[in-house]
Structure 1
């Protein structure tokens, strides 16, 4: 698994509450849900970084 980097995120409290509830509905933590949504957005816009070959 790739190493993860921590950072501070400022977010509207109402948006955060919705993400928390959505994550709970899908059995993910809030952090996991945000990460999932970002991955899906990157995939949808073909912006995922290419995997490095060994």
Structure 2
């Protein structure tokens, strides 16, 4: 699994509230929903490496 890193995010109350409602509709945590939305945007823009598109990095063999 890919390493998770903490990152402080400044976000407007309006956007945060909308994301919270969306995450509840999708039965995800707010953090998971934000990561999902970012990952989908990156995937659509062609910004993710092929091994990162499913949310997991393939482990490197030694």
- SS at structure 1 position matched to 2:10: coil
Superposition TM-score, scaled by structure 1 size: 0.90
CA RMSD, Structure 1 to Structure 2 (Å): 1.4
Q: What is the count of residue pairs matched by the alignment? A: 54
Question: Structure 1 unaligned runs (5+)?
Answer: none
How far apart are the structure 2 equivalents of 1:38 and 1:10? 15
Q: Which residue of 1 aligns with 2:41?
A: 41
Larger relative contact order (C-alpha < 8 A, sep ≥ 6)? 2
Q: Which residue of 1 aligns with 2:9?
A: 9
**After TM superposition, where is structure 1 displaced by more than 6 Å over at least 4 residues in a row?**
none
